[in-house]
Structure 1
Amino acid sequence: PYPSGSLHMGHVRNYTITDVIARLKRMQGYRVLHPMGWDAFGLPAENAAIDRGVHPAKWTYQNIDQMRSQLKCLGLSIDWDIELATCSDDYYKWTQWIFLQFFDAGLAYQKEATVNWDPIDQTVLANEQVDSEGLGFRSGVKVERKLLRQWFLQITHYAEELLNDLGRLPQWPERVKLMQANWIGKSTGAYLEFPIIGTYQKIGVYTTRPDTVYGVSYLVLAPEHPLIKQVTTEERKSVVEIFIQEVINESELERTKDDKPKRGIPTGGKAINPFTGEEIPIWIADYVIYEHVTGAVMGVPAHDTRDFKFAKEQNLPIKVVVIPETG
């Protein structure tokens, strides 16, 4: 648990369940490991200490003492001899050591990515900590979308292995294995590049249907895409900047809702479809997310539901290039 200062019913529920299991297994003759740890490191502790005008360590360890005494009052069979707290240096020296192993193996790297930023708490929030209205779960204020340079671990390096080995987990429920497979999100397709007219730059897109490339009638960039400045014409500059500011503070959930109209505007720039030689307009739209593959989408409205909806709303051309045998 996070040491917030006092137990709530969620704690009582969770640790009563583990206590029942631990007691049952001991009675069945098993040797049981039933420890307690405190998730006590990071910005929530720092912000709480700032609010109260005390040192984070003092505030955190006071809370741990209080919650430990409450858990003991509940009579839980926790082994307090192996208690640990993530804020103690004899614990986090190992997380630092593990990070260095990743770094030395070339599996830790930095890149810019969009995050949910709480302007009150001055913290990054996970998607599940932002509600459907785009408000932060703790402060209750509108969350901003912000580009931050940050560290990543290259779990994708092991994606194929993780996916293939799901079959080696017979005790796992099928729905959980399906969720894992969806999280890994393997997709087979092609990477294509569209040259931007008037520059040496190209816009890269990923598609699972390269056979529909002859039906591309526009390209769409995410509002955070680094090539937006290069593709935006002088006369469209102010309109594009206003649109980006409107969209960039919306959560990913808000931007990708199926029932929400797809908003977008032309940048004035154009690209070449390398398969047809045709000039196609470059737009930006709220439904394209920068972190999703390349942050750019080739619009094929005749053969993609989302592209079709966007093309109808924006009065863009719709070209049919793949016709099923059934007609």
Structure 2
Amino acid sequence: PLTLPEVEKYLPTETGDPPLGNAIVWAWCTKTNKVVSNEMLRQAQHDKNGLVIPTERSDEESHNGVYPLELNTMPGWAGSSQYFNRYMDPQNDAEIFSQEAINYWQQVDLYIGGSEHATGHLLYSRFWQKFMFDKGLVPVDEFAKKLINQGMILGTSAFVYRVEGENKFLSKGLTEGQKVQPIHADVALVNASDELDIEAFKNWRPEFKDAEFVTENDGTFKVKRDVEKMSKSKYNVVNPDEICEQYGADSLRLYEMFLGPLEQYKPWNTAGITGVHSFLKKLWKLYVDDNGLKVNDAEPNKENLKTLHKTIKKVEEDIENFSFNTSVSTFMIAVNELTAQKCTSKQILQPLLVLISPYAPHIAEELWEALGHDQSISTASFPVYDESHLVESSKEYPISFNGKTRFTMELSLDLSKEDIEKAVLANDKTQAQLQGRTPKKVIVVPGKIVNIVG
């Protein structure tokens, strides 16, 4: 490869050549195989009409062995279309990668990019990969095993309505039948009830400082909301630094995942973040109370183990399927159940922290240290799912009389139909319902219901 020369201006030349057209040392000498000054180029002779005068000299003689170099460099996307293969042999000084390295690593396991990325990068990278495959330089014609196009976070824009031809604005509820022009308003000037801060809007847009604002009967000025691509030009950008300052980075991370499936476009609503923020507070209270850390070495009960292992199973499946939104829901359910169970067992709460740490790393790290660990939670082994804790040994049967449930009974799932019927009929609550009558029929569906007829 050649080292590009320094040029005074990185702009196209007056004749439309690329920036290298400004270089004064950018010619190639075939005798020395070196870059030389442009002054060594032998200029062709022209007639008075500007046409080149043909000579009988050979091409070599006419150029004196010196030729102009190409002014167009390789486009940027050429390099960016091969960087993933370079990663497979980054210390190789002789070539982009060795055949040994590329045959070992072969492909990228997962490629994640937005839909805009597909035409700006993926299209070219696939072209280059297929070209190199045809040349026998790479072992596969697709550089990635799996592709995911993540959706975009959309913004919720705010619009105010100005009467056409007037310096007058109408609140949202007063625009019907009026000729109005929608104008974007900065979402920072609108509260959760879609009410505009009129004075702040006037200060933001000085050209409307003297405008008239016609409000609703209650004195508020309502804006219209609409979901659009988040953009500075639409004044609907939410600054993540401000969200982190108010709610914390973990709340932001969890809420982004909770909004919906990874591949979908999702509208942002700052008001919705309070839900996951409250969840993180509840998670903290599961470990810490007013007296400090309440986690202990108590043995977990059957319900504790059931909650933990169904959470492990679901989160493991969700991570494999990139269903992060349902993982967040699973964590919420687990924390609610363990709180109701008054669980303080370290055997349950410690692996739960490891599960949640990729989603909310900061709070997980804090609690992990509080549990006595001096290594980061990121080094901890992922909990192992044990299906035996989800095997039900008993069932809470609804006991019905003529189709109406009167009470429930917990019975072993190992009981036969006959044993279930005997146990139900012998129960004092059943005798109280029958009041000495003999039932006409007892319907037993093992693992489901018991219905006494008559």
- TM-score normalised by structure 1 residue count: 0.24
- TM-score normalised by structure 2 residue count: 0.19
Rg larger in structure: 2
The one of the two structures with greater contact order (alpha-carbon pairs below 8 A, sep at least 6) is 1
